[in-house]
Structures are given as C-alpha cells and as structure tokens.
Amino acid sequence: MDFSGCFLILSLLIIYSFLIVESSSLAYDVHWLGGATVIERDVPTSKQSVDIYCYPGTSKNLFTLWQTVKFHLRIKNDEYRLYVGSSPEEVYKEYTEDSYGWSVVNPFQKKNQKTVSLDLFTPTCMAINTKLRHSIELQIIRVDIWRIILMFLGISVIFSSKALSGNPVFFYLCGIFIGVFASFMVLVYYVSKLLPKKTLTYGILIGGWTVGVYIFQQIWENIRSIVLSYQTYMFWYTLVVSFVSFLVCYRIGPPKNQRSKNLVMWTLQLVGVLMIFFSSEYQEASAAVIITSLVIKYFPESLLRKIQAYWRRKFPPKPRLLSSEEYYEQGARETKQALENLRKYCSSPDCAQWNIMLKLNDSRRSGSMLPGRSGFASFVEGNSHLSDEEILDYESYAFSLDRSRKPAPVANSTRNLDISDDDSSEYDEI
C-alpha cells in the first residue's frame, strides 16, 4: 500500500472520530407533553442541546372517537426545519444527519409546514431547527366537529344511496363535477407532455422514487400557484366546462337500467364507507360503525316484522284506560267530526238529496224518529241537528236524574245546577 492510500485511510478515521465526538457532545432535551400546552423558546446561537417535544399517545376508548391532536408551530418567517419521528432518538438522528448534510428529502412533507397532525395512540416527537424565536403548541381537540360531520355524512350517503342513484339532480351534479375534474387531468396530461422525458427519467433512475415524487410535487405546487394567480380565467374555465358537462349529461340522461342504478348505489356506499373509516383515527370503532350501518341497511324487512310480532306477543303493550273527562271529550270530538263529515257528504254531488227528502217524514208529523224535510235542509245548511224541544227535554231529564242521585244539599249552601262530566258519561252509557 502506497503513502497516498495510507494518508486517505488516516484522514477518514480522523473525520469519523471527529464526527463521533461532535455528535456525542450534542445532547437533546425531551419534553413530554401530556395535555394542551404552549412552550415559547428563545434560541440562542451558543446553545448546543436540541429541544425535542413528544406526545406520549393515549389509550383507545370511545371518548377519542372524534379527537384530534396537532403540533402547531408559531414563527414569524419560514427559516426553520421540522423533524418528526416516532421516538426522540429517531428525531435526533434526523436532526444530526441534516446538520451534516446527509438527510434525504422527504417528498411527503410539505414545504414550510407549520401544523403536524399526530397519531392519537402512538408516541410522536418533533424538533425544530431555527435561530428565531418561536412557540410550540400542542392542540388537543376533544370533539372535532369536522370528524363528526364527515362520519354522519358518510352514514347519510350509505342510507340514501338507493334514492340518490335514481335522482336526476344528483346525476347532473356528479356529471358536472366529474367533467371539471377530468378536464383538469387532461390539462395536466398535456402539460406533462411538454416536460423533458429523458431528464426526468434519468433523475428518477439516479435519485430513486423520492426524486420522482419530489418532481411531481413541485409540478403540483406550480399548478396550484397558477390557479391562484389566474383566478378569473379559472372561474370562466370552470363555468364553461360545467356547462358543457351539463349538456352532455342532459343528452345522455339519468340511468334507467336497474343494473346501472345498482352500480351507482354501490359506488356511493363505497364512498360512504371510506368517509366513515377516515373520519376517526380509532379505526376499530370506525369499522364497527361501518358494519352496523351496512347491517341495518340490508337487514331483511320480513325478519324485522317477525321480530316485532314476536316481541308484541311476548310483551304486549298495556292498554291505557280513558278517564271520564277524556271519554267525554273524545265522544264530543268524534260526534262533531262525524256530523261534519255527514254534512259535507249531503252537500256533495255524490249524495242523492231528493231521494233522501222523499224518504224523510214531514217535521209536523208526530210519532216519528226521523228528521223532517225542513230539519234535513237546516242541518245541511250548517244548523244544529237537534231541535230546541229535544235540547230542553234532555236538560230536564239530566237535571231530574242529577237530583235523584246526589244527596240533598246542606242548608245555607249553594249548588251548581250544571251537568258534570261524570254524569254526562253515565248518561252516555245509559
């Protein structure tokens, strides 16, 4: 081995020992945050330790069904780097590798990301590399309203999928949405045709799939910036494409074949299942909600009726008896309703009024229980079905019966001569 080879090996050993010594000199402080916390930091240039903030996770229970936990960074500008991992050692390793320039670009981490969503049930740690004053906030949302909306929207889509599959309005709205989305995909396809294929291919071969994903992410960011810069043009483009999509859907028409409706219904149910599944990080509970919804949706109606009939036979409902006041009110109400229906029928063209008039006796003839012709005409016009004599006879009978049943009044006491509800019910029974 020549002198140059020995010198190269010796240099590598010195550099490696220097890196080991420097990495061992760097320490890190772990801050375990168990609840909603805000930590403010002034980072001096001479500080050697690294602050790592960790969320320990929580146990699985129903109270965490719609819970959300986030790390939120508050800083004035974008001069910082975030490192996220499942343990303090992993975060510290990423921090040191980035300090030496050995880190690999993460294509899934958004640029200048200030909010990091955490897994509820696994520990998550985060560190920040910056020389600016900043604050770290652990946000714990006990009941996330957006998760609730997403879950109940998914349940509604599952139960209304059959009705929506044959709804023309829903068909046109979906057609317009698909038309606009597909047109954007066509634009992206033609824009990708303009890219240098060889350079992109060589970049993917050399750097691996992370470089390819990073390039596509940059393309998407450029498209998003173009959309935000030319909002007026994008508005008119969307309006024109929506109108063209509506014309196409109107020409095709909503699906009439039952098989086509079934496909639409199953697609909607799949969308509802995905919405429920991703509405909560408690995946076991989400799966239970999905299974319960599908079982209720497809539960046989015949079996349900049998179960209801068996339940009624085993546990028949106890009938509630009417009180005297309720009995009197119900009798008066039903009698009034029946008389009103009879009056409407007699006034309608379906009733043969002249035949009824011929069958009725004259009101001047005594000894007949049927009303006279004049009484029938008066009843149809809206008057009472009882004459004044009949009302007077009833009141006299009720008064005499009341005096015979009740004891004599005490001296110097007053007595109400009105008919009570109990007496009226007894008269009805008689």
- Report whether pLDDT(428) > 50: no
- Report whether pLDDT(1) > 80: no
Q: Which amino acid is at 311?
A: W
**Mean pLDDT value of segment 277-299:** 91
With a pLDDT cut of 70, the percent of the chain lying above it is 69
Q: Are 58 and 111 in contact (CB under 8 A)?
A: no
Q: What is the pLDDT of residues 60-92, one digit of tens each?
A: 888 888 999 888 888 887 778 888 888 888 888
Q: Which of 6-10, 86-90, 228-232, 374-378 has the lowest mean pLDDT?
A: 6-10
Identify the pLDDT of residue 188: 66
Q: Which residue has the higher pLDDT, 109 or 328?
A: 328
Place of tokens 């006034």: 347
Q: What is the pLDDT of residues 311-370, one digit of tens each?
A: 888 888 888 888 888 888 888 889 888 888 888 888 888 787 777 777 665 444 444 444
Identify the pLDDT of residue 149: 94
Residues near 278 by Cβ (< 8 Å), separated by ≥ 6? 150, 286
Q: Which residue has the higher pLDDT, 424 or 43?
A: 43
Q: How far is CA 210 from CA 80, 106, 221, 400, in A?
A: 22, 7, 16, 104
Identify the pLDDT of residue 416: 42
Would you place residue 424 in the very low, low, confident or very high pLDDT band (cuts 50, 70, 90)?
A: very low
Domain boundaries, the chain: 25-143, 147-301, 324-406+417-422
Q: Are 124 and 55 in contact (CB under 8 A)?
A: yes
Give the chain's length: 430
Question: Which string of b and e fits 158-194 if b means at least 16 CB within 10 Å?
Answer: beebbebbbeeebbeebbbeebbeebeeeeeeeeeee
Q: Which amino acid is at 79?
A: E
CA distance 150 to 272: 9
> Residue 68, Cβ neighbours under 10 Å: how many?
19
- Report whether pLDDT(427) > 60: no
Q: Which of 157-161, 193-197, 381-385 has the lowest mean pLDDT?
A: 193-197
Identify the pLDDT of residue 329: 87
Q: Which of 88-102, 174-188, 196-210 has the lowest mean pLDDT?
A: 196-210
CA dihedral 160→166→169→171, nearest 10 degrees, is 100
Q: Are 275 and 157 in contact (CB under 8 A)?
A: yes
Name the CATH code of domain 25-143 (choices 3.60.9, 1.10.357, 3.30.870, 2.60.120).
Answer: 2.60.120
Identify the pLDDT of residue 258: 87
What's this model's pTM, rounded to 2 decimal places?
A: 0.57
**Mean pLDDT value of segment 240-269:** 88
